[in-house]
Structure 1
């Protein structure tokens, strides 16, 4: 049974275009590693080590501390509180529900873009208010913040912006349009922005704003997160060897001509396809997913598989 579980785990991690479970796996693995270190640290008296490791995932509220570990602007979004398993459980459930919509309509890379951009927006807004807004600056005497919530809020609001009338069937409530679910989350975070988890709620609002703006910019033809894919490809190039191609001298001219024509044809086709997808997304934004024809739904589905 354990071998079968490990096989499925490895398969989910290695499978291409499988960003949703891969991000969940990263979050779960980080949580388990930090939790195990925390338990052994307390039992055997080396909490200083486990606390140090946890600090590398915790974004501090003050710039003076943040500049000593700037990587926490990203790492905080892959760690969760060790005080309760419900923190990671709730985040990953919501991420799974709304992340599936993003993957279905926009593809895997857009999901990754949104996750990273939401985390950055949430972390930056959190840092801004705790360093420049007096109310928060006076209450900045806490250790730091962890959690994927800002990234999850970005994906939730992005999905609600893209397909606002898409319906989830909720226990005790029945069918509910996701725009109302997203709106409820935003209101709750706003009301909690002066409470015990003020920093977390501020980050939620930053992620939510990024999710909304990201989709609106995407619908106008601009992908704010395109650089995320570029960074990923750059890092991946150090670990994945590129196959070398040999071309004989008497074939170079023919292949160059063929490649050029193919490239031009492919580029023109991609531009036409993207324009059509943009029109479909606009239609979804205005009239909802249900207004699409069967052909339009199929085109959107095919485009998402290419992402």
Structure 2
């Protein structure tokens, strides 16, 4: 029963919470497995980290996305998820979960491309090898996207208030300052790759050009590919219809519960299932069980 409850809570959670849970689950799985089997984490996750050579990338192209769900260090995971939770709320106040996920994943891919190109074309990396892990590039894309799209949003930082573009500019400037002296230059370049994508996406979207629409369509295609046609996000709930004219035994009014169901179904029709609040999802779920 508890397992079903947890599964239901995950399914009805927002996209930010889902991403945090997935990142945390992968972190625990990799680190605990490596510990119990006495296997180096790098060896265990070698097919999911992003390598720095084109030869390796050809045989594991999926690593452009999988690397962004891997963290070997707790604090690396903690700070990435904190930034994701904080700025994810700003994005979801304006856009739906599908666009949020598009920014996140394309930001990861952009960061990965910057990383690979830097290691193969910049002389400073000619004597080093490495791999890329972590959600930093994807999170940077989220941060810079909202900082560019809605720059004048004000954020309270303990004792003072700043505009959100100030935070975006600060994190990018910090990465640039650290780049020449940091031992993680490749990772910082990936941060910049995510930031560049977030900025370009926001600017183009403000002009009416949705450069991420194609990716949303790809995700939708994959979702339909693995989802049975009969499967629905909630159990069947009937919408009441007016009784045929001339029937004297029809109920003149809907029950309060059915009115609420109809209102929720209308909201789904206009804004999608993810637009529902947790209370509305719970109510619809219970109504479906009683049907």
What is the TM-score of this pair, normalised by structure 2?
Answer: 0.74
In structure 2, the partner of 1:208 is 195
Shift in alpha-carbon separation, 1:8–1:102, aligned structure 2, 3 A? farther
Q: Bigger shift: 112-121 or 229-238?
A: 229-238
Tell me the CA shift for residue 148 of structure 1: 0.4
CA distance in 2, matches of 1:235, 1:117: 16
Retained in 1: the 8 A contact 2:34–2:44? Answer: no
Q: Does residue 94 in structure 1 map to residue 83 in structure 2?
A: yes
Retained in 2: the 8 A contact 1:77–1:147? Answer: yes
Retained in 1: the 8 A contact 2:140–2:194? Answer: yes
What secondary structure sits across from 1:126 in the alignment? Answer: helix
Root mean square deviation of aligned Cα: 2.3
Q: Does residue 186 in structure 1 map to residue 162 in structure 2?
A: no
**Deviations 1:129-175 (CA, angstroms, capped at 9, x unpaired):** 1101111223x323x1100000000000011112212122223x422
CA distance in 2, matches of 1:131, 1:211: 24
CA distance in 1, matches of 2:187, 2:173: 14
In structure 1, the partner of 2:139 is 152
Of 162, 178, 193, 1:176 maps to 162
Q: Bigger shift: 232-241 or 68-77?
A: 232-241
In structure 2, the partner of 1:68 is 59
CA distance in 2, matches of 1:20, 1:9: 16
What secondary structure sits across from 2:45 in the alignment? Answer: helix
In structure 2, the partner of 1:36 is 32
Retained in 2: the 8 A contact 1:131–1:137? Answer: yes
In structure 1, the partner of 2:215 is 228
**Deviations 1:243-276 (CA, angstroms, capped at 9, x unpaired):** 49xxxxxxxxxxxxxxxxxxxxxxxxxxxxxxxx
CA distance in 2, matches of 1:151, 1:137: 26
In structure 2, the partner of 1:23 is 19
Q: Does residue 141 in structure 1 map to residue 129 in structure 2?
A: yes
CA distance in 1, matches of 2:225, 2:201: 29
Unaligned 5+ residue runs, structure 1?
245-301
- Give the helix-richer structure, 1 or 2: 1
Tell me the CA shift for residue 112 of structure 1: 0.5
Retained in 2: the 8 A contact 1:102–1:110? Answer: no
What secondary structure sits across from 1:175 in the alignment? Answer: strand
Shift in alpha-carbon separation, 1:102–1:8, aligned structure 2, 3 A? farther
Tell me the CA shift for residue 229 of structure 1: 2.0
Q: Does residue 199 in structure 1 map to residue 196 in structure 2?
A: no
Aligned length: 235
* Larger RCO of the pair (alpha carbons < 8 Å, separation 6+): 1
Tell me the CA shift for residue 183 of structure 1: 0.9
In structure 1, the partner of 2:70 is 79
CA distance in 2, matches of 1:114, 1:162: 13
What is the TM-score of this pair, normalised by structure 1?
Answer: 0.71
Of 104, 125, 128, 2:114 maps to 125
